[in-house]
Amino acid sequence: MSNFFKPFTKDIGIDLGTANTLVYVKGRGIIINEPSVVAINQKTGQVLAIGNEANKMVGRTPGHIVATRPLVDGVISDFEVTEQMLRFFINKVYEKSWAIVPRPRVVVGIPSGGTEVEKRAVEDATRSAGASEVYLVEEPMAAAMGARLAIQEPVGSMVFDIGGGTSEVAVISLGGVVVCKSLRIAGDRFSEDIIQYARDEFKLLIGEKTAEQIKIVIGSAYPLEERLEFIMKGRDLLTGLPKEIIVDDGQVRQALRRSVKTLVKAVKDTLEETPPELITDLMERGLVLTGGGALLRGLDKLIAEETKMPVRVAEDPLTAVVRGCGIVLEDIDAVREVLITTQYEASPS
């Protein structure tokens, strides 16, 4: 029966991110890139919106409606909501399909620092959402594949995937992770830093979306040639009234300084644990930045200056992980060694 339904089944790759979920469909490419946000009516428990529609509600809902992220720091914090979100995205793939009951094979990118329980939670949620088979791949490995690094050759490649909830830096060789560091400092922390800075320096309360906008428009990790400014609007904590203040890139850089310093240290710590032969490769091949955090202006320059090695931002860094999942889909048997072995594979249900 599975062979009969195969022509109607669309294999799917999912980058299940803290901030955004991206979906790759075999043969079609990336067709979904939406926020990992779910709006729930707490009185009834009903899911009102998912993805883009739910994101519009963040900070704008009455008390009984909550727009929430079911993943925190790359890990599932609400299993049932995550399952509903995954089902929504899988069904969206099949909107114009003849398939009555979608049962796709799904490859999911997950943080490398996850525990066995956290990995099992992702697998169970994906199966409950309608997947017939689930394959897990570590995000640094998927990002390296998406960035077209030569991960299966006997040479060292280094990737730094900076997502919404987690950042992971890994040295890869012969299809395996040699050294990896995972930390809970990423894009969301940058936004939190800006919110805290506005509160401490200007006694101004700003929302997540405003902080995110400031980060994107004028955020940087390295001094810029041209000064950038942004009108920051919020509530004055002293008077309770609306207030706006002009901030520049230097002030935002100051706000992000501690988190950026931690990211640079993670790269240095990883290099310290890397075998000497691979260090030689890395000095030639350099470090590749992926994920949304890689778009922070000047981060590549700062890391290059601090580590004395070449650093570049991957082409379209936001989609590197899901493109890596797509590469796995194209020929799962050929890249099986990069997949995480799961309990289901050890003892099929």
Residue-wise pLDDT for 313-343, tens only, equals 999 999 999 999 999 998 888 888 888 865 5
Q: How large is the average pLDDT for residues 93-120? A: 80
| Domain 2-35+73-142+320-346: assigned CATH number | 3.30.420.40
Does this chain's domain 151-185+264-314 share its CATH topology with 187-256? no
- Is the pLDDT confidence value at 84 over 90? yes
Band (94; pLDDT cuts 50, 70, 90) = confident
What's residue 248's pLDDT? 97
Q: What is the pLDDT of residues 187-237, one digit of tens each?
A: 999 999 999 999 999 999 999 999 999 999 999 999 999 999 999 999 999
Average pLDDT, the chain: 90
What does residue 279 show for φ and ψ, rounded to 5 degrees?
-60, -40
- Is the pLDDT confidence value at 5 over 50? no
C-alpha distances out from residue 217 to 211, 252, 290, 333, Å = 10, 10, 19, 43
- Percent of the chain scored above 70 by pLDDT? 93
Q: What is the pLDDT of residues 272-281, one digit of tens each?
A: 999 999 999 9
Distance CA 6, CA 13 (A): 16
- Given a contact cutoff of 8 angstroms between Cβ atoms, the answer to whether 20 and 33 are in contact is yes
What's residue 6's pLDDT? 47
- Is the pLDDT confidence value at 305 over 50? yes
Return the CATH superfamily for domain 151-185+264-314. Answer: ATPase, nucleotide binding domain (3.30.420.40)
What does residue 147 show for φ and ψ, rounded to 5 degrees?
-85, 5
Band (45; pLDDT cuts 50, 70, 90) = confident
Q: How large is the average pLDDT for residues 174-180? A: 91
Answer CATH for 187-256 from 3.30.360.10, 3.90.640.10, 1.10.4190.10, 3.40.50.720:
3.90.640.10
- Is the pLDDT confidence value at 1 over 60? no
Look up the pTM and report it. Answer: 0.89
- Spans of all domains in the chain: 2-35+73-142+320-346, 151-185+264-314, 187-256
